[in-house]
Amino acid sequence: MRFLIVIMLAFLSACSWFGARKPAVREPTELVITGAPLGSLVFIDGSQAGPSVSRNDQSEILDVSPGAHKVEIHVNDAIVYREDTYVGSGERRVVSVLSGLSR
């Protein structure tokens, strides 16, 4: 009888070894802004998304929530570029600024 109980406990504990799964690692949802003019400010959905652009040969990578977003590039008080875009969960969307002001 003890032998049967030990065998049953061994089988039951083995079930838990196969049932444990690691949680899925979620990839970040990002907007990559390229080509913004020097000194410009990047706005996402009406909020400033960081300091002014100090180098236009370097992309800005911004973590955003999945969904639709409005990207604006401001130089002084003027909006020099605007784009509506959609980023799916775990996606990386590239926004290439076509303002003509990049130097």
pTM: 0.69
Q: For residue 62, which of 37, 79, 39, 41 has the smallest C-alpha distance?
A: 41
Domain that holds residue 73: 29-103
CATH number of the domain that residue 71 is part of: 2.60.40.2070
In tens, the pLDDT along 36-95 reads: 888 899 999 999 998 888 776 788 899 999 999 999 999 998 999 999 999 999 999 999
Numbers of helices and strands, H then E, in the chain: 1, 7
d(CA 53, CA 72): 13
- 18 part of a folded domain: no
d(CA 97, CA 36): 6
In tens, the pLDDT along 5-17 reads: 877 777 766 665 5
- 20 part of a folded domain: no
- 75 part of a folded domain: yes
- 16 part of a folded domain: no
Q: How many domains would you assign to the chain?
A: 1
Contact of 56 with 34, CB cutoff 8 Å = no
